[in-house]
Every structure is written in structure tokens, then in C-alpha cells.
Structure 1
Amino acid sequence: MQNLPLVTVICLCYNHEKFVVEALNSVLNQNYQNIELIIADDCSNDNSKKVITDWLQNHPTVQFISGKINLGNTKTFNKALQLSKGEYIIDLAADDVLLKDCIEKQVNAFLNSDKKNLAVVYGNAELISEKNNHIRYYYEVDTEKKAVKKPASGDIYLAMLNQSSMICSVSSMMKREVLEQLNGYDENLAYEDLDFWIRASRDYSFEFIDSILVQKREVENSLGNQFYKKFNSRTRKINHSSYLVIKKAIALNKTKEENKALMKRLHFEMGKAYRTLDIWLFIKYIPLELKLRF
């Protein structure tokens, strides 16, 4: 194991007092042992900080960043990334759980892949409730727990633009070199994954691992539950971030085919703006559509 690459797990915590210990223990209980764990609490206003500091009593070598003000996921992750040393990086939310063989399978995929310029490996996830009950799998599985329809591998740029395939971000491992070349997460955004997948897939390959690697917890304030709330400040911020992602993707596109693919995502986001009565955001999409068309 000592000759295998170092993996940094950045565990981001914001009001996860009920789940953070399970998340942290799942990192320490990995089959793969060459791991650096960094905990970053984004100024939680529940009991998370105390729960973490109590846990650290038995794990004094683990790095802990305790935020004085709430910065958001993107800035907090970048701050932890600067302290990390791993060749590969995992962005772990403090309410999710890594299965025991997760990192071992991810590293093996990197080391044994035939893909050129591989930036990200990712797998499947079991979605669970706050009480650890099974909900479903991120990608539908057969009786052998294999994905019924395999998501994209290789050059996935078009798939990211037109939503024909989705990345299970909680099950992903990223190459540090790529994160650094792309300057980490975009700190102007309220969420990070779609923007990073598009920017990374422009020049790099991705690979899907057909295994269930993590448990992703569905909680009331999860990002996915915020997209369609009307007159909600968080919803507006999230959906405005999607607008910025599309605007950036237009600048990355090189062909008419790519513009056509991005148009599908743009129409999807316009639909969200319409359903949430965010009329100003809906109007802002119109010049982007004209730019893609002409």
C-alpha cells in the first residue's frame, strides 16, 4: 500500500451533526490505507463542530479546518484543496458514506484504465434516507447490482451538455493535476459539480466503474430538493449558477453539434426559471439561446 498513490478525502460539513461521524469513520474503514483526510466545517450553526472535535480526540493526526464565516461549498473545498497532498481527490459530503472498497476500486480504475488523459472515475450510489433506509440506486441496477444502462465513459463532453448521461458526483474521484489546471471549483457558483464536469470533459476523459461505491443520503435540504421552490432565495441562487455554467459552456464550445447539445440543457434550465416564476432569469436566457442558434 505504501507504493500506491496518496488519496485525499475532503469531508465538507455544514450542519451535519447527526451524520458526520459515520462519514468520517467510513473514510478510516477503507480497504485502501494510503489516505489523507481533511475535515472542513463551513461555520455550521448546529452542533457539528463539537461532534467533530470530540471525534478528533481519538484521531489527532486528521486535519480540521473550522470556518469562522459561512463561505459555501466551492470556497470551502478550494481552501481545503490548498492544504491537501493527495494525487487523487474525493469531495465527500459529511452526510454521505463511502463503502469499504470505494477508494480501492477508484484507484484501481485510474491505474488500470486505457483512457487517455483520464480526469475522473465515478461509480454508482445507493440513495438512503436520514434513517439509513434504502430509497433507490442512482443508476438503476439489475439483480447483480450492475447498471442497467451504463452512463458515459471516455469523451463525455456532448453527454454533459445535452444531459444524455449524468455523473454521480458523490461517487467520483478526481485527479489532482486536473483540479489544479482548472483552478479548482468556480467560487462564484452555488454548486460545483456540473460546472466542473463540463470544464473537465472538454479536454479530459472520464471512466464509469460499474459498482456501488457510496451511500448518498437524501435529506430535506439536499441540493436536488431546491431547484423548483418558488420565491426561495436559495433556489434563485442555485438556478442562477446554472445560468452562469451555460454561459461558460458557450465559450468552450467549438462546433454546431456542441451548440445544439447545449441548447437542450438551456431549454431545461429555462423551464426551471419559468416554473419557479424567476422571470428575470428566464429573460436572461434568451440572448444565450440566440447566440447558440446564430
Structure 2
Amino acid sequence: MAERGTLSVIVPCHNYGRFLGEAIESVDRQDRRPEEIVICDDGSTDGSWDDVQRIAEGRADITAYRHEQAWGLIRTFNELVERSTGDLIVPLSADDRLGPGFLRRMEDDLLARDLDFGYSDYRCFGAEDWYFRAPEMDVDRLARANFISGTAGIRRSVFDEVGGYSPAFERLGFEDYDFWLRVVEAGKVGARVDGCHLEWRRHPGGSRNTATRRDRLHLRWKLLVHHPRFFLHPRTLRAWRSSGEPVGTAVDAP
């Protein structure tokens, strides 16, 4: 089994300072605490920076900084990874919460099973209340829909190797799908970490990932352009035909 390394939780925040305390408390309650928490206030206009500073005050394990103007999620996320130092990276949205025991279980699984990334079930709360049981890792299933949330554990070396998140997908809101496809295409190995380890806050009005049929067709074309070897593989084409649905049908994931 590989040696344990360091772990960073990275938190992008744009106008979600009112929820940030819950997010950080969920990290603090973990039985495996990260070596660092890195928070970026991405040009918030509602006073969230004050919340960030209050939470970070007196905490040597928290690094906090801000953008005067909003950069957008993808640029901010990639910068957070660059600024962090952990061997393992776990992203957490400022309005979400980690479930109990996630960091230890994720790290244990990655080390014991020699995995490159690990993901889990999640529970929605707030404006919606439902549970998603993530399937075991399956490339054919991933060809039909993304089931890996953005809040997953990944080795820094893997993130760097695939080049982080692509800005080409930011406006569509499917940057997670593109990212995990590139990770799989690079031959990396991941698995489901047993249990519900993400609490995903749902806001009135839904998610930016809720796509219309036109959006899904655009997404399918974009994915084909960016991942031709993956989506034009005979096995993947068979998976599409058997599903009866266009790619992206179930990619509404945190």
C-alpha cells in the first residue's frame, strides 16, 4: 500500500458566504482532517469576503484570498488546485457539505486499492430532497451519463496530467463530465467510495446543469469533438444505442 500523503480541501465561493460556515464545519468534523483548506472568494458582490475572512481568522490551516472581479468557476477552480499543496485534492462548493467520514474513507480507498480518484453517493437538501446512489465505475455507463460529482477525491498528479478543467465547457455547465472523461481516457482508475459523503444544497430555480434538449444536443456534439476516440469507439456507440437517450441526459450532478 502506498504511503499517506497530504490532503487539501479547496473551496470556491461566489456570493455564498452565508453558507460557507456550514461547509467548513463539515470539514472540521471529519475524522481525517486535511492539512489545509484553501478558499477563494471569486469577486463576490454580497459581502461574502467578510464571511471568508471571519472564518479564516486565526486558522493556520486555512488560506483565503479573493478576486476583485469574478473569474468564473473553472479558472478559479484550476487556480485553487495550483495554490494548494496536497497530494490529494477534494473540491467542495461553498454551499455544500461533506458527509461524515468521507476524507478518511476516500483516502483509505485510494491507498489500499491504488486508485487515482474516488467518488461517492450524494444527498440533496434545501429546495429538493432526494438521494443519488452512485454506480460502480463503468465506462459504458459513463458514456451515457456522468455520475461522478465534482466533490470527489483525486490525486494532484492526475489533475495536473490531464490539464485541469477545460473552459470550453463552462457556459454549458458540464465541465465535470468533460474532466472525468479526460481522466478515464488517460487510463486512470477510479471507484465508488461506499456511503453518502456529499450533501448537495439545491437552490430554488434549479441547477445551472439542468439542460434543455437543445443544450443536450449541443453538449453531445461538443463532447464528440473533444473526445472522438472515446465516443466513436464501437462499445460506446452500442451503449448510446441501448440507452435510447442522448449523451448528457443525466448529467445534473454537483
Q: Pick the TM interval, shorter chain.
A: 0.7 to 0.9
2:224 and 2:69 mapped to 1: Cα distance?
29
Structure whose CA Rg is larger = 1
Quick check: 1:126 aligned with 2:123?
yes
Aligned equivalent of 1:166 = 147
Change (3 A) 1:270 1:162: closer
Please say if residues 135 and 147 of structure 2, whose CA atoms lie closer than 8 Å, have aligned partners that are also in contact: yes
Residue 223 (str. 1) matches residue 207 (str. 2): yes
1:212 partner SS? strand
1:139-191 alpha-carbon deviations (Å, 9 max, x no partner): 2xxxxxxxxxx6122xx33221123x722333x11111110000111122213
1:232-286 Cα deviation digits (max 9, x unpaired) = xxxx6x98566423321214456322244357789625999xxxxxxxxxxxxxx
Q: C-alpha displacement at 1:49, in angstroms?
A: 0.9
SS at match of 1:223: coil
Corresponding residue to 2:184 among 187, 191, 201: 201
What is the one-letter code of the residue matched to 2:136? Answer: A
> Do the aligned partners of residues 108 and 263 (structure 1) sit closer, same or farther apart at CA in structure 2, a change above 3 Å counting?
same
Amino acid at match of 2:20: V
Q: Residues 103-161 of structure 1, C-alpha deviation per residue, up to 9 Å, x if partnerless? A: 01100111111x6xx3211111121116xxx812122xxxxxxxxxx6122xx332211
Task: Check if 1:247 corresponds to 2:225.
Answer: yes
Residues 60 and 33 (structure 1), Cα distance of their counterparts in 2 relative to 1, 3 Å cut: closer
Q: What is the RMSD of the two structures over their aligned residues, measured on CA atoms? A: 2.9
Residue 22 of structure 1 corresponds to 22
**Identical columns (%):** 20
Are the structure 2 counterparts of residues 123 and 9 from structure 1 closer, same or farther at C-alpha, using a change threshold of 3 Å?
same
Give me the whole-angstrom Cα distance separating, in 1, the residues matched to 2:111 and 2:125.
Answer: 30
Q: Deviations over 1:21-47 (max 9, x none)?
A: 111222222211342110012111222
| TM-score calculated relative to the size of structure 2 | 0.83
Rounded to whole Å, the distance in 2 between the matches of 1:42 and 1:266 is 40
Q: Please, which of 175, 182, 189 is the counterpart of residue 162 of structure 2?
A: 182
Which whole-Å CA distance do the structure 1 matches of 2:34 and 2:247 have between them? 41
Structure 1 gap segments, 5+ residues each = 140-149, 231-235, 273-294
Distance 1:242 1:70 in 2: 28
Match of 2:39 in 1: 39
Moved over 3 A (4+): 238-243, 251-254, 259-267, 269-272
Q: Distance in 2 between matches of 1:48 and 1:270?
A: 33
Residue identity opposite 1:197 in structure 2? W
1:77 aligns with: 77
Q: Distance in 2 between matches of 1:217 and 1:188?
A: 25
Q: RCO greater where, 1 or 2, for CA within 8 Å and sep 6 or more?
A: 2
**Counterpart in the other structure of 1:142:** none
User: Secondary structure of the equivalent of 1:44?
Assistant: coil
Q: In the alignment, residue 143 of structure 2 is paired with which amino acid?
A: L
1:43–1:69 CA contact under 8 A, matched in 2: yes
- State the distance in 2 between where 1:55 and 1:193 align: 28
CA distance in 1, matches of 2:110, 2:123: 22
TM-score (norm 1): 0.73
| Counterpart position of 1:283 | none
Contiguous gaps of at least 5 residues in structure 2: none
CA distance in 2, matches of 1:34, 1:75: 23
Mapped partners of 1:74, 1:267: distance in 2: 28
Alignment correspondent of 2:197: 213
Task: State the shift of 1:17 in Å.
Answer: 2.3
Query: How many Å separate the matches in 1 of 2:20 and 2:35?
Result: 18
Note the C-alpha offset of 1:5: 1.8
Matched positions, count: 244
SS at match of 1:64: strand
